[in-house]
Amino acid sequence: MADKPKRPLSAYMLWLNSARESIKRENPGIKVTEVAKRGGVAYDPFMSDIWACGVVCYAMVFGRLPYDGSNVHILLKRINQSLVFPKSPSASSECKHMIMHILAPVKIRYNIPQVKEDPWYSLK
């Protein structure tokens, strides 16, 4: 098998890093609280990825981010409050249940097996 050129991958990686930095600057709402305020404290990246998936899922279902704030301090305050679902568009209680458990504090947040067993995810 012929070697693939490395330049397109390098260009892609530069773009990806740029996109990640843009997301970090422009959308702090996708950062989980344990990452945003960790201050050198270790955290579980898998559980943080689940949080980010929950933010994306919420955005796909409702058309907006679950938490909004003009700065990180306001954002963290809102994240620590109860999750609010908009009235429109409507979503099933099963959908809201799963999103609520994915966006929960890390100690009670769904892990991957729990997500896979959730009725909304597994369509049981």
- Between CA 29 and CA 18 the distance in angstroms is 18
Give one DSSP letter per residue of 73-109, joined into a string: HHHHHHHTSPP---SSS---HHHHHHHHHHTS-TTT-
What is the predicted pLDDT for the residue at 29? 57
What is the predicted pLDDT for the residue at 86? 93
What is the predicted pLDDT for the residue at 59? 92
What is the predicted pLDDT for the residue at 122? 86
Predicted TM-score (pTM) of the model is: 0.69
Task: Give the pLDDT of the chain (124 residues) as one tens digit per residue.
Answer: 555 554 555 555 555 555 555 445 545 555 566 665 555 556 788 888 899 899 999 999 999 989 887 777 788 888 888 899 999 999 999 999 999 999 998 899 999 999 999 999 987 5
What is the predicted pLDDT for the residue at 73? 79
Residues 6+ apart with CB under 8 A from 51: 32, 102, 103, 106, 109
What is the predicted pLDDT for the residue at 72? 75
The fold of the 45-124 domain, in CATH, is Transferase(Phosphotransferase); domain 1 (1.10.510)
Residue 28 is classified by DSSP as G
